[in-house]
Amino acid sequence: MAKIYERNPDTGIIRSREAGDYGNEIVMTKLKLIKTEWYTNTSWRVLEINTEDYPEFKGLSEDEIIQLIDDKYNEGTLDDIDGPDGWSLEDMLQDADIVKDKYTNEDSQLEIETITDKKE
């Protein structure tokens, strides 16, 4: 069993002893380190569409088309608008090229837990 080294707070002298010399004590044998990391990732995707390829936009002004797309996006129903290739506008936007990526608010935290064996 491993030795325990203790410093006398009054004298500063360090002495060793065997673990468990004081009877029913808890002896630390292992540590578990848990690192948590977090960040905010912002991605910019660009998709260019021809509004004439979308039947939903026929007869609408540019402002009305922009408002319709914005409303559908905010409602989570952008996939209701089908593109010319059979893909929804939501799918095409999600698959669009990322032109810029930015990571912010990066941080981390370390937790240390003891795993103990109790000597009886």
Query: Helix, strand, coil shares of the chain as percentages rounded to 5?
Result: 25, 45, 30
* 3-class secondary structure, 99: strand
Give the per-residue pLDDT at 13: 86
Helix H or strand E segment including 26: strand 26-46
pLDDT along the chain (120 residues), means of 10: 75 77 61 90 94 93 95 95 92 94 91 69
| Closest residue by Cα to residue 67 from 53, 51, 43, 83 | 51
| Closest residue by Cα to residue 37 from 106, 104, 108 | 108
Give the per-residue pLDDT at 116: 67
